[in-house]
A = this chain, B = another copy of it.
């Protein structure tokens, strides 16, 4: 099967370039960057940007969706690692750590989404994947007696969304403060 969907390749590449540029620009200059600036950064004209994302809100949603997919991937990888022998608590904490770092590079996007009345922000299947993996991770760690009972996926989400993403240098300290709320005293002794 040689030539399938010509042109499409270019368009797809542009779409990706726009998404990347948008993510970068928003991280660097906040969610109020102009569409023109994003377009310029992506190396396309505004019209092209609007062909791919009819509204600024749509573009923001798409950027967020990418981040959510990455978070889901990370959670699933963490879960896979526990099957290879890793301690579930460590994976929970590691996951939180990596996500906190990631939000430092895209928190502005979330703020933008909240401020723009974005509808469903992000792909539901990715959200579900993330929830499933994190849930399994928590359950395993709780079975080990390392994570407090009653801690659920929403708690992890709550912490993720409150990471000090505007001040990445504070993230390690923040993690130190946050982790005891999730883990049991025993988990720390055992370590």
Contacts and interface: CB of A to CB of B under 8 A. Distances in A.
A158 B173 contact: yes
B174 A158 contact: yes
Contacts of A185: 185
Interface string A169-191: 01001101111111001000000
Contact of A161 (B30, B164, B181): B164
A108 B103 CA distance: 19
A159 B181 contact: no
A92 interface: no
Contacts of A178: 177-178, 181
A180 B148 CA distance: 11
Contact of A158 (B158, B159, B164): B164
A80 interface: no
Contacts of A159: 177
A173 B176 CA distance: 18
A159 B158 CA distance: 13
A41 to B, nearest CB: 19
Contacts of A166: 114
Nearest to A162: B162
A38 interface: no
A14 to B, nearest CB: 18
A177 B147 CA distance: 12
8 contacts: A30-B115, A155-B173, A155-B177, A158-B170, A162-B162, A178-B178, A178-B181, A180-B180
Interface of A: 30, 114-115, 155, 158-159, 161-164, 166, 170, 173-174, 176-182, 185
Given A158-B174, A162-B162, 6 more contacts: A155-B173, A158-B173, A162-B174, A177-B182, A180-B181, A185-B185
